[in-house]
Structure 1
Amino acid sequence: MMLNTSDYLYTILIVAFNESIKSVTRITSLYSFVSVLTGVFISITVRFVAFGLLIRCRGGADCSAHNGIIGAQVLLGIAGGLFPATKHKHVAVVTGLYLASYLIGSALGNCISGAIWTQVLPGELESRLAPFGNATATTAVYGNPFGYVAEWAMDTPERQAVVQAYRHTQRLLCVTDICLCMPLICFALVLRNPKLGKEQSLPDAEKYVEGHGPVGGEQRKWYQKIL
């Protein structure tokens, strides 16, 4: 699960960074663009380096050859991890599992990031804009941030107060994102690897369709067979 801080990045870049619309559009597209290229190019680069080590370390009993072959195998493993691949017949299943996990995580991330944004930012704006004596400034900034930044230059005290409020909110979003990712990584490392057989389905699977499934003890045996 990852907080969708990118959903608010467009607003943050305009309000807190004073970026132009053209610049904001390019910056918000960088993640998708680079993430696609990185896996391919880095994987290919690491793979060439690994094979270079294998060519150089073709044998020998000295320490350099030993370390070289170990390093080459490690780099090949990294390259394999960066370049995800699976058998053609498993592509649909792997893609479905990935998209399902991604969408569920995105939904949860949207809930959390939305709660932080709506609960933290208005209070920060109110407290930081209070010294300027404008009771409606908070509502104006939160409701129409693009209209506000068009009226107040970046070097004005009012704009800097808004920038600090956005900076504080963005910091909380990023810290929360990191904290939520760490447990998921730990859970992934301790998951039990399921044992999958070579058969595509159980031999008697077609017998247990709707209305004709096993009952009682037979049902327990059938579930144990599946598990």
Structure 2
Amino acid sequence: MLVVGFVLLLGFGIFEWLVAPVPMINFTFLSDRTVVGACLLDATYQVAYYCWANYFSSFLQVVNNLSISEAGYVGNASDVVSNLLLFLVGYSIRRTNHFKWLLYLAVPLYILAQGLMIYFRRPDQSVGYLVFTQVLISVGGSIFVIVFQVADLAAVDHQHVAAALSLLYVVGTVGDALGATISGGIWTNTFRGALVRKLPPSARGDLQAIYEGLDKQLSYAVGTKVRLAIQEAYGYAQTRMLAAGTEFMGLGIVWTLMMRDINVGEVAQVRGTVF
């Protein structure tokens, strides 16, 4: 199936390039530094986020002793704040007619927020600090969501808007999958080893069950030696996930510099009915 998928993907590219009378993808997009920069920044943002996000809920339950609903509130704090800030970001672009200046704020802020997470994503840290870093993350995320699309829309003509946005979505989805893969790889190679080192001898027989099951991890009372060992193992793994995401997000500075600072107020608008 993998071979068939690869052959079909390669065949699609060749067909679009050499055969199709009207290609679905305009390959000139790949030479436009704004489109390429927006796509790469989107992928980098997704990788940096999913390097740690998939294990955040279980971290909150095991390390911070939150219930499932409380962990959901903390995890969704960034989404709530981000959705509210989208209106402010859109209005800022509308007033200034430029979007690139927002990236000069968002990228360093996002790197700072993930860097702070490395310190606070450990046992014996207040949940308030975790919420604070989530809010910082949401500020950068709200800017990214808008700017990616605006940059694509400003860089291409009207007839290629759908294809450009599709390209942006595909590249972002690849970044999502890559980030989850990195996260799983770090978890596999750090969490179990940390459990081996930190679990008391009485719990070594349950090592595999603890490693594989959240319910088993939560079955140990808060404050016991086993629970404390599991919490320390979580902190060990999470800080390395966050370090990987923070380092990867540093590429966002390069992609931001690559993009043109287009005046969206001067972009020709299509008015009326378009056939």
Query: Match for 2:212 among 133, 139, 143?
Result: 143
Q: CA deviation at 1:17?
A: 1.3
Structure 2 portions without partners, runs of 5+ = 1-43, 107-142, 262-275
**Secondary structure at the counterpart of residue 237 of structure 2:** helix
Look up the match of 1:132: 201
Q: Distance in 2 between matches of 1:75 and 1:139?
A: 50
Q: CA deviation at 1:127?
A: 0.6
Query: Match for 1:100 among 170, 194, 198?
Result: 170
Q: Distance in 1 between matches of 2:197 and 2:81?
A: 38
Answer whether contact 2:100 2:256 (CA < 8 A) is retained: no
Answer whether contact 2:60 2:71 (CA < 8 A) is retained: yes
Residue 83 of structure 2 is aligned to residue 36 of structure 1: yes
Q: How many residues align?
A: 167
Q: Distance in 2 between matches of 1:144 and 1:77?
A: 45
Which stretch of the first structure deviates more once superposed, 139-148 or 172-181? 139-148
**Secondary structure at the counterpart of residue 245 of structure 2:** helix
Look up the match of 1:18: 65
TM-score (norm 2): 0.52
Q: CA deviation at 1:10?
A: 1.5
> Comparing both chains, which one has the higher relative contact order based on Cα–Cα distances under 8 Å and sequence gaps of 6 or more?
2
- Greater radius of gyration (CA): 1
**Secondary structure at the counterpart of residue 133 of structure 1:** helix
Tell me the alpha carbon deviations over residues 126-181 of structure 1, each in whole angstroms, 9 at most, x when there is no partner. Answer: 1100x3332223212111122331x2222222111110110111000000101112
Answer whether contact 2:191 2:237 (CA < 8 A) is retained: yes
Structure 1 portions without partners, runs of 5+ = 52-71, 194-227
Change (3 A) 1:181 1:114: same
Tell me the alpha carbon deviations over residues 25-79 of structure 1, each in whole angstroms, 9 at most, x when there is no partner. Answer: 22222333322322223553x579xx7xxxxxxxxxxxxxxxxxxxx89999549
**Secondary structure at the counterpart of residue 18 of structure 1:** coil
Q: Distance in 1 between matches of 2:97 and 2:259?
A: 25
**Secondary structure at the counterpart of residue 190 of structure 2:** helix
Change (3 A) 1:153 1:134: closer
Change (3 A) 1:101 1:76: closer
Residue 232 of structure 2 is aligned to residue 164 of structure 1: yes
Tell me the alpha carbon deviations over residues 110-130 of structure 1, each in whole angstroms, 9 at most, x when there is no partner. Answer: 22111001111000011100x
> What's the RMSD between the two structures over aligned residues?
3.3
Q: Distance in 2 between matches of 1:192 and 1:168?
A: 40
Identical positions, percent: 23
Change (3 A) 1:77 1:106: closer
**Secondary structure at the counterpart of residue 183 of structure 2:** helix
Which stretch of the first structure deviates more once superposed, 21-30 or 163-172? 21-30
Question: Residue type of the partner of 2:229?
Answer: A
**Secondary structure at the counterpart of residue 154 of structure 1:** coil
Question: Residue type of the partner of 2:235?
Answer: R
Query: Match for 1:186 among 254, 258, 267?
Result: 254
Answer whether contact 1:120 1:169 (CA < 8 A) is retained: yes
Change (3 A) 1:28 1:101: same
Look up the match of 1:111: 181
Answer whether contact 1:15 1:146 (CA < 8 A) is retained: no
Q: Which structure features the higher share of helix residues?
A: 2
Q: Distance in 1 between matches of 2:189 and 2:64?
A: 22
